[in-house]
Structure 1
């Protein structure tokens, strides 16, 4: 791409990403490498550059831990919804099975009462006492039919009772899973709140000028990482065009820009990172897993050089963050608490890999 229109586009994207980051910080929970300190012309503040860098690293870690816990919370929420639906279906089967069993018992009772009315004699004895050969033959046929019906009735009752026991067993197992999921969800929620509260407490200790300088450090780290990524010439190879569904997903994600990040949120007023990507693809008519970790596990992996708009870029070794590739080296994502859905450099965070929802 280094020359001509492509070269100009790359340079333009670098500038756009830099301006975007400076205007509306969108870095996620950790930076991929060391961050330069503020320039000598910056106004001095009480903490040294080294101390403020430590603050930034601490904030990165806290927000990253919150992101991991958010993924755990979302996964527990998704499982709980599925388990609840399964319990409802099992309950319907139990009700239906019980009604069927009641009807079978009524039929068995009717057969017993009919036998009582004939003196309690078995069909074979009644036939032997008959003086009419034709009646005997008719009775023999009815006897065989009756035997088959009785045997079928007993078999059906036994199977229905077995099914009911299995439904009850399955329902009990799902309830146990649901309870375990509830505890996991509560634990994740607690950790999320603890990590975010610790981060907010740390930020609140800073003076206004310190916060501004901290923001500049984050911006510089993101820009440095994005520039290094572009300098590899990666965009020379990235030329894939979005699919029709991919275009719809990107359009949806773009329309959410400016909306706040909120952990566990799936819109329409706020999103977390995977809430944004999963809803964008649901809007495009192609549902995908709810969490970034499951998106990484279940969706088809593609090489970075083969990615196209609409593909999802998974970040960090633990797949704790995800953004949607928008083309020209940029990604749309919901960064972290206190930020909004924004456009950022696709290489401004450490890339784990790329997945394609509509492969």
Structure 2
């Protein structure tokens, strides 16, 4: 920030313009939406086993590969969303600093005008300072009046100089802070761009893999995916967990559930926060925002910052965090089910709460 070279006002204008450009969210990549899988009912029996795959193609291996690709895309999506949130905060701080720089510059100009007015007044008085007039006074009354003016003038001058000094120091600090925020904003812009490349790369690889399958193979793959989810849900229910989960949702929790379930059928889109599409944490954060409580934007930050509760104490409205890296999140709706935005190519749906590996549960309204 050029406080001495180009002027702080120009620096502030530059900051505001740059912030306006960088504050615009990146365009999200919307994957084509094939026919969504059937909703997983946590209480349904296991579907029949999938037919044998065609010779030369191991559909189970393909399913696992797809799971890995979409999981890696989810991790990159969390990184993108985190960088986006930081960029928004830094943009806001930069705008505020730019305003302070402009206001400080205006204040400094005003102080300089006041100092100039004092100098001109002294010149009109014959060029003699009040101290000189005091020494030349002829009467005690004039002397006392002059002494008072000298003291008042000294105080005023000292105060004016002190205020100008403080204002100049504030301007220099604002410029340094703005420069630091700019560097952070630029770093987050690069982080967002890198995360976006990773997301698109993983999704493109998954779509290419799926495109190589024949229609019948895609149908069998869908059955395999549904079967794996049902098996995981059944194993979770067989632990007797539902006998322990008896918590009732709060008014806010029920409001969040109502919001999330009202989005069922809308497409997953990474980086999206509604209203027409969502990613997993975009859905949960907006559901709770609608309920009147702001929570972190990403699943990893939701896991890190919100209060953790035992799975057995789970109640509707709580957030279920999945996988060891907290890369997926869903909202518990009760009766062993959750609502979530699964992954690219899928739509928001209700599924078994135990259909994926549970890392833990957090409570926004603890």
Name the TM-score, length of structure 1 as normaliser: 0.88
Query: What does residue 45 of structure 1 align with?
Result: 54
Partner residue of 1:310 out of 287, 298, 317: 317
Whether 1:319 and 2:326 are equivalent positions in the alignment is: yes
Whether 1:107 and 2:114 are equivalent positions in the alignment is: yes
How far apart, CA to CA, are the structure 2 residues paired with 1:82 and 1:350?
A: 33
How far apart, CA to CA, are the structure 2 residues paired with 1:122 and 1:107?
A: 17
Query: What does residue 231 of structure 1 align with?
Result: 238
How far apart, CA to CA, are the structure 1 residues paired with 2:147 and 2:55?
A: 107
The offset of 1:175, in angstroms, is 0.9
1:217-228 alignment runs, 5 A limit: 217-228=224-235
How far apart, CA to CA, are the structure 2 residues paired with 1:84 and 1:163?
A: 20
Contact conserved, 1:115 with 1:122, CA < 8 A, in 2?
yes
How far apart, CA to CA, are the structure 2 residues paired with 1:138 and 1:103?
A: 29
Contact conserved, 2:40 with 2:352, CA < 8 A, in 1?
no
The offset of 1:156, in angstroms, is 0.5
Query: What does residue 8 of structure 1 align with?
Result: none
Contact conserved, 1:38 with 1:213, CA < 8 A, in 2?
no
Q: Report the RMSD for the aligned CA atoms in angstroms.
A: 1.9
The offset of 1:44, in angstroms, is 5.2
Whether 1:23 and 2:38 are equivalent positions in the alignment is: yes
The offset of 1:39, in angstroms, is 3.4
Q: Which runs of 5+ in 2 are unaligned?
A: 1-35
The offset of 1:236, in angstroms, is 1.1
How far apart, CA to CA, are the structure 2 residues paired with 1:127 and 1:22?
A: 96
How far apart, CA to CA, are the structure 2 residues paired with 1:23 and 1:105?
A: 73
Query: What does residue 278 of structure 2 align with?
Result: 271
Contact conserved, 2:94 with 2:178, CA < 8 A, in 1?
yes
Contact conserved, 2:37 with 2:346, CA < 8 A, in 1?
no
How many residues are treated as equivalent by the alignment? 328
Q: Which runs of 5+ in 1 are unaligned?
A: 1-20, 28-35
The offset of 1:117, in angstroms, is 2.0
Contact conserved, 1:241 with 1:309, CA < 8 A, in 2?
yes
SS at match of 1:290: coil
SS at match of 2:271: coil
Change over 3 Å in CA distance of 1:288–1:202 after alignment to 2: same
Query: What does residue 294 of structure 2 align with?
Result: 287
Contact conserved, 1:37 with 1:217, CA < 8 A, in 2?
no
How far apart, CA to CA, are the structure 2 residues paired with 1:81 and 1:160?
A: 28
Contact conserved, 2:41 with 2:352, CA < 8 A, in 1?
no
SS at match of 1:301: strand
